[in-house]
Structure 1
Amino acid sequence: MTASEDTPRIVVLTGGTSGIGRIAASDLAAQGATVAVIGRDRTRGETLVADATALDGDIRFHQADLATQATVRSLGAELRDTYDRIDALVHNAGLSSRNRTETEDGLELTFAVNQLAPYLLTYELLDRLRISAPSRVVVTASDIHRRATLDFDDLQFTNDYDSLQAYARSKLATIAFTLELADRLDNTEITANCFHPGFVPSTNLFRDSPIWTRIMIRAAAIIPGIGTTPQEGARRLCKLVTAPEFGEQTGTYVTGNGPTSPSKAAADPENRERLWRTSADLVGIESDWP
């Protein structure tokens, strides 16, 4: 399958060893794509590769913990060395930390993985996306962002940390990042879109959350009509990677009902610009990219 067809030839997918990412990786490979799956767990990654032998495409595993900036930069170099083009970069990895934890870089863990890692990895791989244009950036967001605000005076919850609020803020940040990226990439043949996968109770996303959160999610999993299946979440991801319309539409937030307006906080130009500059400062790059 060539890169000009509906399914991109090379897809980089973070968070691809479990949940909707694992299903999406197999589905994209079944459509003929080469999928570079990024994950922390080598055993899961190698199992995924072994299971993909009968697919039309190819799944390759790259081990990386996206919590640290040195690892993200090393991953970027590894992917640049391995692939001479990237047709779609999918930021799907995410977590919700139970307690406020700082990374080796001194940053709050949930914000570092969910927002700063996609920001930095996009920066690291932008040249490969340009070479492959028309190409795409796809970000897994969440409708929980609607309950969050961007408090730039305490963006990383130094005070009064709450795991669900920290997760919601990180997803608000990912949407604001995606919309700002789309504007900055205007007229470059690189689209940037994000989506809400639905509430997927079976995900491991909240494995580190407080026990009351995990109990609530387990309860929701047995109530008909509350949750979304992992297969549906993966379908939404794959649609943004493969559907022709998302090779043209950019700066779009998509839910199960199609393109939807995100919260005012996510769409606000001043919020987006300030978050962009703050993220650049936190990862140690200039903010005038791309």
Structure 2
Amino acid sequence: MQGKRVLITGGNSGIGLVAARELASRGAEVVLACRDSEKTLAALEVIGAGAEIAPVNLPVDLASFTSVRQLAENFLGKYDRLDVLINNAGTMPSKQVITEDGFEMQMAVNHLSHFLLTHLLLDCLKASAPARVVNVSSMLHKKSEMDLATFTGFDKYKMQAAYNQSKLANMMFTVELAERLAGSGVTVNALHPGAVATDIVRSFPWVVQKIVGLLFISPEKGALTTIKLAGDPEMENVSGKYYDQCKLAGYSPVADDNIQRVAFWEASERAVGL
């Protein structure tokens, strides 16, 4: 990763922090995109301890499209190249929340804000080619269909169903973007990190959090697929694929349905104002 610049959302905890730390230790210049917080300051120290180039944070609230646009503006005002964009951050609220922009929180944070951020940085990625986009999805995307009407909220909110659909959105975005970027030198791939014990479950009852901590794999193991897709030289020309714990895997047929995928893409564009 010598000479490579990496921008990662949600790099202040969980698999994002481990991936950022490992990529920095391999020579990458790491830029976090997180809320300004004590947790983020602590993460910068952890990442910086083994880094050749000191990491920085560009603040963002992924529940706000205005904030995402400001992040992109700040990044492009400071940097002239981007080698790897890792769309890692995620949320999973137990009760339905509607963002300031009028969208269901999981779809807004897990998909729409990353969709917007990626588009705002596409010219920079193309100018930096070969470059990569890495989208953190989940195997749970296979349990969902895509209902565009729920972008603005569910009549009956179920946390898991909303999460699964947001992860399907990550996969559909990956496949469509890879097709649109064919020949540009920018690759796009998605991944399932494994069942990882991270603070995405912070809204769960404490008993459930305890069980998750005991049964799920560590963030260190969970980050391995992100690291592979971001840095493995063998991945340079691979695009539009899905990796499950470092292995190439099959994904939902919904993501291969061109009609659904294009409708989803256009709905995402309208939602974020592109």
Q: TM (normalized to structure 2)? A: 0.95
Query: How far apart in 2 are the matches of 1:276 and 1:108?
Result: 17
Task: Say if 1:218 and 1:130 are closer, same or farther in 2 by CA, change over 3 A.
Answer: same
The match for 2:259 is: 270
- The CA deviation at 1:162 is 0.4
Q: 8 Å contact 1:32–1:58 — kept in the other structure?
A: no
The match for 1:37 is: 32
The match for 2:214 is: 222
**3-state secondary structure, aligned to 2:200:** coil
Task: Say if 1:271 and 1:43 are closer, same or farther in 2 by CA, change over 3 A.
Answer: same
Q: Letter of the 2:229 partner, please give it.
A: L
Q: Letter of the 1:18 partner, please give it.
A: S
1:179 corresponds, among 175, 183, 187, to 175
**3-state secondary structure, aligned to 2:248:** strand
1:101 to 2:93 alignment: no
Cα displacement string for residues 96-137 of structure 1 (whole angstroms, at most 9, x for unaligned residues): 111111111111111000010110000111111011000000
Query: How far apart in 2 are the matches of 1:91 and 1:267?
Result: 21
The match for 1:118 is: 114
Query: How far apart in 1 are the matches of 2:145 and 2:42?
Result: 39
The match for 1:249 is: 238
The match for 2:127 is: 131
Q: Letter of the 2:257 partner, please give it.
A: D
Question: Where does 1:134-213 land on structure 2 (aligned, <5 Å)?
Answer: 134-201=130-197, 203-209=198-204, 211=205
Q: Letter of the 1:19 partner, please give it.
A: G
Which consecutive unaligned segments of at least 5 residues does structure 2 have? none
RMSD: 1.6
1:62 to 2:50 alignment: no
**3-state secondary structure, aligned to 1:47:** helix
Query: How far apart in 1 are the matches of 2:217 and 2:214?
Result: 11
Query: How far apart in 1 are the matches of 2:246 and 2:222?
Result: 13
Q: Letter of the 2:236 partner, please give it.
A: G
Query: How far apart in 1 are the matches of 2:152 and 2:210?
Result: 28
Query: How far apart in 2 are the matches of 1:217 and 1:274?
Result: 37
Moved over 4 A (4+): none
Q: 8 Å contact 1:17–1:41 — kept in the other structure?
A: no
The match for 1:288 is: none
Give identity over the alignment, percent: 35
Q: Letter of the 1:238 partner, please give it.
A: I
Q: 8 Å contact 1:86–1:129 — kept in the other structure?
A: yes
- The CA deviation at 1:92 is 0.2
**3-state secondary structure, aligned to 1:17:** coil
Q: 8 Å contact 1:33–1:58 — kept in the other structure?
A: no
- The CA deviation at 1:38 is 1.1
Q: Letter of the 1:206 partner, please give it.
A: V
1:20 corresponds, among 12, 15, 34, to 15
1:92 to 2:88 alignment: yes
Q: 8 Å contact 2:195–2:217 — kept in the other structure?
A: yes
- The CA deviation at 1:46 is 1.9
Q: 8 Å contact 2:134–2:190 — kept in the other structure?
A: yes
Q: Letter of the 1:250 partner, please give it.
A: S
More helix, by proportion: 2
Q: 8 Å contact 2:83–2:131 — kept in the other structure?
A: yes
1:258 to 2:250 alignment: no
Q: Letter of the 1:282 partner, please give it.
A: A
Query: How far apart in 2 are the matches of 1:220 and 1:54?
Result: 29
Cα displacement string for residues 63-112 of structure 1 (whole angstroms, at most 9, x for unaligned residues): 21111100000000000011110000000000011111111111111100
Q: 8 Å contact 1:179–1:252 — kept in the other structure?
A: yes
